[in-house]
């Protein structure tokens, strides 16, 4: 690969959940929410809070436990849908826009970029190699795994960062993964 000039600005990289998750997840989550809402509708129509479990033999204790579970799911599913549709990390030449409204971190605020090889202590086969970006007290502000975004574009952005701020690459494995001849 040719070395990029430090003034050349690589294209921004946007990391989102995989397309199949963004297309399949919302209908499934809406379906779960509707299933959880059905006992509420039944109880309101029957004007009896025990109506959904009346003939099940669960009793009042089982009904209360069921209502707690239904209530939690009715609150959690919309939040999960919002996270699924709103998750986004942007890496550009000047820094990273962290997910979940955590704000923007400029290159001067980034402390470490590290490459993590495939694997890990749990479920190693499904933990793809990835780059992690850490910034001061905020900790991990971005993680880009192979397959989540354009891998080569991600490497170009991170290589650009390393050329501008060589101190962020602290180990040889990361330098080798970026395949950049970093200034010493």
Tell me the pLDDT band of 7, cut-offs 50, 70 and 90.
low
Q: pLDDT tens across 89-125, in order?
A: 999 999 999 888 788 999 899 999 998 887 666 655 5
User: What is the domain partition of the chain in residue ranges?
Assistant: 19-86, 89-178
Q: Quick one: fold of 89-178?
A: PH-domain like (2.30.29)
113 contacts 169 by C-beta, under 8 angstroms: yes
More confident residue, 106 or 1: 106
Tell me the pLDDT band of 184, cut-offs 50, 70 and 90.
very low
Q: Could you give the 3-state DSSP secondary structure of residue 135? A: strand
Q: pLDDT tens across 125-183, in order?
A: 566 788 999 998 888 899 888 877 788 888 899 999 988 988 888 888 888 888 644 44
What are the DSSP calls for 57-93, one per residue? Answer: T-HHHHHHHHHHHHHHHHHHHHHHHHHHHH--EEEET
> CA torsion sign, 115 to 118 to 124 to 127?
positive
Say how far apart CA 173 and CA 162 lie, in whole Å.
Answer: 13
Enumerate residues 6+ apart whose C-beta is below 8 A from 46: none
Say how far apart CA 12 and CA 91 lie, in whole Å.
Answer: 6
How far is Cα of residue 22 from the mean position of the Cα atoms in its chain? 12
């Amino acid at each position: 690969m040719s070395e990029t000039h430090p003034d050349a600005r690589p294209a921004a990289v946007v990391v989102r959940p995989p397309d199949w998750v963004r297309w399949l997840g919302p209908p499934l989550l809406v379906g779960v929410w509707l299933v959880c809402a059905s006992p509420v509708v039944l109880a309101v129509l029957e004007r009896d809070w025990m109506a959904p479990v009346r003939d099940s033999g669960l009793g009042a204790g089982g009904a209360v436990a069921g209502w707690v579970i239904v209530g939690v799911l009715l609150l959690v599913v919309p939040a999960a849908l919002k996270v699924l549709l709103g998750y986004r990390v942007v890496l550009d030449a000047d820094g990273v826009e962290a997910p979940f409204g955590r704000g923007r971190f400029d290159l001067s605020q980034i402390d470490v970029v590290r490459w993590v090889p495939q694997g890990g202590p749990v479920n190693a086969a499904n933990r793809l190699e990835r780059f992690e970006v850490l910034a001061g007290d905020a900790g991990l502000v971005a993680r880009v795994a192979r397959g989540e975004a354009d891998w080569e574009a991600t490497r170009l952005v991170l290589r650009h960062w390393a050329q501008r701020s060589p101190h962020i690459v602290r180990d040889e494995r990361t330098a080798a993964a970026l395949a950049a001849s970093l200034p010493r």
